[in-house]
Amino acid sequence: MSTDTLLQLKPAPVWKHFAALNAVPRPSKKEERVIEFMRSFGESLKLPTMVDEMGNVVIKKPASPGMEGRPTVILQSHLDMVHQKNEGTDFDFLTQGIRSKVEGDWVTAEGTTLGADNGIGVAAIMAVLESEDLKHPPIEALFTIDEETGMTGAKGLDEGLLEGKILMNLDSEEDDEITIGCAGGIDSNTHMAYTEEAVPAGSTALRLTIRGLKGGHSGMDIHKGRGNANKLMNRLLYKTGNAYGLRIASIDGGSLRNAIPRESTAVVVLPEGKVTAFQEALSERRAEIEQEFAAVEPDLNISMEPVGVPGKVMALKDQEKILAALYTVPNGVWRMSPEIPDLVETSTSLARVIVKDGEFITQSLQRSSIESGKHDVASAVRAAFESIGATVENDGDYPGWAPKADSKILRLMQPLYRELFEEEPKVAACHAGLECGIISQHYPGLDMISFGPTIRHPHSPDEKVRIASVEKFWRYLTGALERV
């Protein structure tokens, strides 16, 4: 889609800046270009613009006339985006801008993630900064980096940059919700060396592939019962392996630590005389899985095809241990909140599995709205892998954001929502990781709230944002700034 087409959407200032932002490659941990883009934007407006040592960008704008005595508001969004593409999509996230398109009332991308998470929030803040007619208090725009792969930007935020006492995070994904709390998270990364052996004589090799799963955000979508490609692949291998002499040469499943894995590929070796029986057994297992997931994964595809025989396979003793550990490790919802209806309190997602060249590696992400729950499920993951001799390292630990029902900004935002949209907003905590908890550690006492437009399937190539909800979100944001 051309920029001109996006500019036909309303509100035009937001879509203009979203199009410009999406033309800039902005993968997590490689945000140099988008940092410079944002610095140049602030300087072009002749507004005080700073970049801290981490790469976070702060742009400050004085209050509009008559609003000088109002409290300073921090508007916050993150610059990086999740990079996922469909198999077969020819796209280089490091050099190309996102190709957007309109489908009905939605904007989506051609075979890749869209970057509405959190690009719409960034674009809305840019529109506020550029506007000459909006009424608003003093603004401190905070654009953080690396939110999607560890929140290192928020963790390393310079504590002398901001003065505001109210923070509006624009990274929520339902336009009828006001978020007042979120989950914390921790990564569990495992490694184990395994023994390789020569392929037995008289062997045939097959490539097993799982594709077509919905994937999605491993926090917001973890309760939806979607298939995890890593767990499904292990189920196939574990259930059919021993009876047919199957030996594993390699496994490559998942991609990003915070996305439910959509695809997995394994290369396996079997005795020539057992290939047909194995294929028949695998077809039965495939039919079972497809029937189980028919309601939530209609595009699930499990295939097998012959490939060249590899040079090495995993030793049988290691293969048995690794498959057992992968079957044992928890995945999905660990506990629902006993206090907040329908809120996932604690979860875990097995995001990445690699078996290659004598190395077994996994990556998983545990989330919880309570610290003890987060560390409890991380311990369960650790136990599963340490039981086979794997090394487990935890990193990326970040805190949750505890809800405050007596928040002053919440008391402003609730009645404003009712006034603007003639309906009651949902006030809730979410199971995603927002940067609010981390930022409040640097700036204690912040009064925080999060809201945003309706975004579906973030962290997957099916990501899309509802056009009408962006206009609604913009009305809500500008209305709130006028009322603070």
Average pLDDT for runs of 10 along the chain of length 484: 72 97 96 98 98 98 97 98 90 95 95 97 98 98 94 94 97 96 95 97 97 94 97 93 91 93 97 95 94 97 96 96 98 92 94 98 96 96 98 93 89 97 94 92 95 94 96 98 97
The Cα 432–Cα 82 span in angstroms is 14
* CATH number of 418's domain: 3.40.630.10
Q: What is the pLDDT of residue 5?
A: 76
Q: What is the pLDDT of residue 250?
A: 98
Q: What is the pTM of this model?
A: 0.79
Neighbours of 168 (CB within 10 A): 25
When divided into structural domains, the chain yields a total of: 2
Same domain, 282 and 363: yes
Same domain, 382 and 430: no
Q: Which sign does the torsion angle of CA 431, 432, 436, 439 carry?
A: positive
Q: What is the pLDDT of residue 2?
A: 45
* CATH number of 357's domain: 3.30.70.360
Domain range holding 388?
186-398
- Among candidate residues 374, 398, 422, the one where a domain is terminated: 398
Same domain, 252 and 388: yes
Provide Rg for the chain, Cα atoms. 24
The Cα 210–Cα 263 span in angstroms is 5
Q: What is the pLDDT of residue 243?
A: 85
Selection from 83, 105, 134 nearest residue 257 by Cα: 83
Same domain, 328 and 477: no
Through-space distance between the first and last CA atoms of the chain, rounded to whole angstroms: 37
Same domain, 105 and 159: yes
The three-class DSSP label of residue 170 is coil
Same domain, 11 and 131: yes
DSSP strand pairing (177-182 vs 184-193): unpaired
- Among candidate residues 362, 377, 398, the one where a domain is terminated: 398
Question: Which residues are CB-neighbours of 443 under 8 A, at least 6 positions away?
Answer: 159, 162, 167
Same domain, 393 and 407: no
Catalytic annotation, residues: 80, 147
Q: What is the pLDDT of residue 3?
A: 55
pLDDT one-digit tens code per residue, 315-336 = 999 999 999 999 999 999 999 9
Same domain, 112 and 240: no
Q: Are 56 and 153 in contact (CB under 8 A)?
A: yes
Q: What is the pLDDT of residue 242?
A: 77
- Among candidate residues 364, 398, 432, the one where a domain is terminated: 398
Same domain, 335 and 418: no
Same domain, 248 and 355: yes
Same domain, 25 and 114: yes
